[in-house]
Amino acid sequence: MDATRDPSARLPGLRVLHGDAADYDALVDRARDATYVLLGEASHGTDEFYRERAAITRRLIAEAGYTAVAVEADWPDAYRVNRYVRDRGADASAAEALSGFTRFPTWMWRNTVVEEFVTWLRDRNAEREPRAKAGFYGLDLYSLHTSMAAVVAHLDDVDPAAAERARERYGCFDHFGPDPQAYAYEAGVAGAEPCEAMAVEQLVELRDRAAGHAARTADIAEDGHFPAEMNARLVVNAERYYREMFRGGIRSWNLRDTHMAEMLAELVAHLERTCGPTKVVVWAHNSHLGDARATELGDAGELNLGQLVRERAGNAALLVGFSTYAGTVTAASDWGRPAQRKRVRAALPGSWEERFHETGVHRFLIAPRACHGGRLERAIGVIYRPETERASHYFHARIADQFDALIHIDRTSALEPLEATSEWEAGELPETYPFTV
């Protein structure tokens, strides 16, 4: 074939994606021998990343024996979805089950693609025995107060005296009000006595009493003690995270990703005890799932979930990244601000995204071993600031070492929130406004 017309001649190993059922055959076949498939995203607001990730996950569940989806979300909110997909909750629809995601950025999980996936997962589980049902779980640590409330509510049901002890311990946090950032400042910077000892004491007691609590009701093993213990673990790690938050540096990032790795390990251990051999799909941003050791951030001392899973699981971990060249994205201009449909600028010269754009192929999958050296890589989180894009959204990475596979979609579109506001519908003015050229 003429090298000028063959995309693989311009980027060895490139596999064109046609939008049909066979697109991910090779990826699914490779995943059959893995235990963890980590599916990333280059932004928290791109429809195609969410849609392709969900499509791959459906195949992994249906064809390759995966029975858990663990996501970059808080444990109590995701566990409400888990109860829904396993037909154990009171929610009447996927949208209702997702309504627990009220913390910014709500669109990250309350969007049309996740709603469709959760509906599919519930429908598929309805045809299977309890041990074969696939679950939906959260790995993140921002739900400090929600998790404390969940621990106390569980103990109210099974051990009122233990519930009172938990209230007393967690009462330490009441002095700082409902905003965790107030605790972060007072305990981390201003010198207030931290609540670390109380949080640890509560987790230790909960773990010590696990067998006794589980014996009191048959429901505790699945929906009582284990999620309560995970919430108590979250409180311990969130307390440490918030104390570090205002001190700067990389320690808070490392605490967060170490927490996610710890939650993932505890989840797998629990599922293996109760359901047998377990294989997990993980959804999170590329910056969490691509091996940090292959980036300038890793060179500076950052670690991440992808690195930790690789170190533990070796070849049983499959790390898959996503990228795009241009399009639109759902993001905010600052933390806590409304979601906007923003235009994503064309990728910078010298970036991996520009290199992929130069192939002339709109959608492809590549095993990046042939992508030698380091280049800039773009990362858009929940905030997108195109006016400071180089400083805000790029870092150097060696993708041959960062990912086992990468999916590039050259032009992408904004993820649609379940509650699309007029501000989101209006979108962002083009750079050429008011000249429209």
Question: Hey, where are the domains in the chain?
Answer: 1-66+279-437, 143-265
Which fold, 1-66+279-437?
Answer: EreA/ChaN-like  fold (3.40.1660)
37 contacts 315 by C-beta, under 8 angstroms: no
Which has the closest alpha carbon to 13: 406, 295, 409? 406
Could you read off the pLDDT tens digit of each residue along the chain, which spans 437 residues? 444 456 555 788 899 999 998 999 999 999 999 999 999 999 999 999 999 999 999 999 999 999 999 999 999 999 999 999 999 999 999 999 999 999 999 999 999 999 999 999 999 999 999 989 999 999 999 999 999 999 999 999 999 999 999 999 999 999 999 999 999 999 988 889 999 999 999 999 999 887 665 555 444 445 679 999 999 999 999 999 999 988 877 999 999 999 999 999 999 999 999 999 999 999 999 999 999 999 999 999 999 999 999 999 999 999 999 999 999 999 999 999 999 999 999 999 999 999 999 999 999 999 998 899 999 999 999 999 999 999 999 999 999 999 999 999 999 999 999 998 888 888 764 543 333 33
* Cβ neighbours for 283, distance < 8 A, ≥ 6 positions apart: 39, 41, 53, 57, 69, 70, 71, 72
Q: Which residues pair with 326 in a beta bridge?
A: 411
Q: What's the whole-model pTM score? A: 0.94
Peptide bond into 434 cis (omega under 30): yes
